[in-house]
Amino acid sequence: MEAIGDRLTRNGGGDTAVPTADAGLAAVINAVNAAATSAPGRLAMAGYVEAADFAGLVEDLSRTVDYLQILAAGAVDRTRTQAITAAGTTRTTRGWITGWDNGVETLNETDAAGTIRCPIPRSPADDGCKTTAEFLRLRLRIGRSEAQRRIHLAHSILPATTPPTNTNTSPPS
């Protein structure tokens, strides 16, 4: 977690690279789970200063996780919107459709930890969700208002990640 926190501090929270499990999140999750398992025993023997320091570290972790949640929601919203737009321009009318082949797998898969993962369709246009908030609600098992909050914050406070356009016609000063 320290590497992500350092990167956020170094860049003033403006690092918009989307972390993946390859970037160390799986190891961070394992470390946090181990800390959560050992915390009750350690805190039972802790003094005031140690308990306060622990609470401060947990709050720092919480802020970093909140930032990553907002960053991820913004990335899902942006990429889902782009994919739906692209699918709309390339989709052809197939004529009469029976409804049997909609391109969505209905089998829920389970990872090694027993967590049920919702199937992700080939195209967001086929996921059955009207909005990204509804998609996040189903995929992440969070409330709709929480999904909307994350998307709103991503649009409001995170820097735009669109590629810069070279529309400046004035000479450099």
Give the list of residues 6+ apart from residue 134 with CB closer than 8 angstroms, or none. Answer: 144, 147
The verdict on residue 7 lying in a domain is yes
The total domain count for the chain is 1
Contact 114, 58 (CB under 8 A): no
Domain with 126, as residue range(s), is 2-91+115-157
Tokens 């403006």 — which residue?
14
This prediction's pTM? 0.63
The verdict on residue 171 lying in a domain is no
What does the pLDDT profile of the chain (173 residues) look like in tens digits? 444 445 444 545 445 455 555 568 888 999 999 999 999 999 999 999 999 999 999 999 999 999 999 999 999 999 999 988 887 766 555 555 555 555 544 445 555 555 555 566 667 777 888 899 999 999 999 999 999 999 999 999 888 755 444 455 555 55
The verdict on residue 162 lying in a domain is no
Cα distances (Å, whole numbers) of residue 102 to 97, 108, 127, 150 = 9, 16, 9, 29
> Measured between alpha carbons, how far is 57 from 109 in angstroms, rounded to an integer?
35
